[in-house]
Structure 1
């Protein structure tokens, strides 16, 4: 893993503990320091969650502000129909957990 990817992973752990607290997972799929592009994928209970779009926007905004060479952030969140996918296997958050609750469960 490159240095930027490691720093983004550390940032995610420190800045976004709410993801894990709610049973979600995240993984850095790409971190290109030359392009300034970071791709983060959310999974677990983030899939189909009614506030995952807010979480994604917060990650985009804050990551660009906090990590100097990051200029563009893409956050991928599988929709409810993809909840069985293992796209975020190995991401932080421990075992993948999938919500069967509606998006208004908060």
Structure 2
């Protein structure tokens, strides 16, 4: 296992495994990655908020994170109703401060 924190490893994974998010004008942010509880929270933004297949992207992220990270047991992917895209992202559209609805953890 890497000495790098889980959150940073997941951010790196998102850049490599989910480039389609950024290619389509979307963004993603890993909000929580707790190696003790196995809980991960990822938020999608940008054009993901208006995309008809963001639920498929979310399901793929969930399944792949659980498969690829031994310590990950539960993944929540949030998609905003509205929100501003920001320029505060890292490579691959990752890392911005997105604005999200509070309607539910899996709101699409």
TM-score by length of 2: 0.76
Provide the residue aligned with 2:62 in structure 1.
60
Deviation at 1:90, TM superposition (A): 2.9
Q: Detail structure 1 runs of 4+ shifted over 4 Å in the superposition.
A: none
Instruction: Name which of 16, 20, 23 aligns with 2:22.
Output: 20
Matches within 5 A, 1:87-106: 90-92=88-90, 93=93
Question: Gaps (5+ residues) in structure 1?
Answer: 97-106
For 1:83 and 1:47, the matched residues in 2 are separated by 8
Question: Gaps (5+ residues) in structure 2?
Answer: 98-108
SS across alignment from 2:49: coil
For 2:60 and 2:67, the matched residues in 1 are separated by 11
User: How big is each residue's C-alpha offset from its partner over 1:65-89, in whole Å with a ceiling of 9 and x where there is no partner?
Assistant: 001100000000002xx134x6x76
TM-score by length of 1: 0.77
